[in-house]
A and B are shown apart, each in its own frame.
Chain A
Amino acid sequence: DIQMTQSPSSLSASVGDRVTITCQASQDISNYLNWYQQKPGKAPKLLIYDASNLETGVPSRFSGSGSGTDFTFTISSLQPEDIATYYCQQYDNLPQSTFGQGTRLEIK
């Protein structure tokens, strides 16, 4: 099984800050990685697919990069509405899919 290690598990930042979350795969997954945002009590929302592609309608302050085993998710300027938990998800070994444990983002 491919394990996804996300860090940090929680993060506190100020409005306007640049925020970075990392996800490491236990083996090479090429660019088969997505990022989701989940606000409290809501379903996850797809933000980034194939490691670096912005889903339609998602603000450009969100971005993703990486390939192989190491991936990064960035919010260039944190906004109050970005408070959420963020998850990475790999889909290298189709059809199986695994998620990272999540990063809880709070406003400082």
Chain B
Amino acid sequence: QLQLQESGPGLVKPSETLSLTCTVSGDSISSSGYYWGWIRQPPGKGLEWIGSIFYSGNTYYNPSLKSRVTISVDTSKNQFSLNLSSVTAADTAVYSCARHKHLACFDYWGQGTLVTVSS
């Protein structure tokens, strides 16, 4: 059974970089042939796709966040990571990792982790 689990700080100061890691179990990132993505949901609001990565390192980002986002992959640890720089309060959200099947649908999700941007 495929499982994803986010980890990282729950509190980040304004102007700093938000860093999260998603650990995948039950399947190998490098052999599955799928993309792996990040999605966020500000409190009380809707879902926003942040970006996705292939095991080879090929990445796609939401244009609205592209200048601040970096997604990387570590196949040896079966993990992929999100870095979001220069954060503000508007970046406060539940951040979730998910399998981005054929870049079309998100069919497996992590439980999500709340990241608050505050001094």
Binding site for B on A (CB under 8 A): 32, 34, 36, 42-46, 49-50, 55, 87, 89, 91, 94-102
Tell me the dominant secondary structure on chain A's binding face.
loop
Closest A-B pairs by Cβ, 5 of them: A43-B109, A95-B60, A99-B47, A97-B49, A95-B103
- A102's partner among B46, B62, B104 (CB-CB below 8 A) is B46
Binding site for A on B (CB under 8 A): 35, 46-49, 52, 60, 62-63, 96, 98, 103-107, 109-112
Most buried by A among B103, B106, B110: B106
| Given A43-B111, A49-B104, 18 more pairs with CB closer than 8 A | A32-B104, A34-B104, A43-B98, A43-B109, A44-B47, A46-B106, A46-B107, A49-B107, A55-B107, A89-B47, A89-B105, A94-B103, A95-B35, A96-B62, A96-B63, A99-B46, A99-B49, A100-B46
Tell me the dominant secondary structure on chain B's binding face.
strand
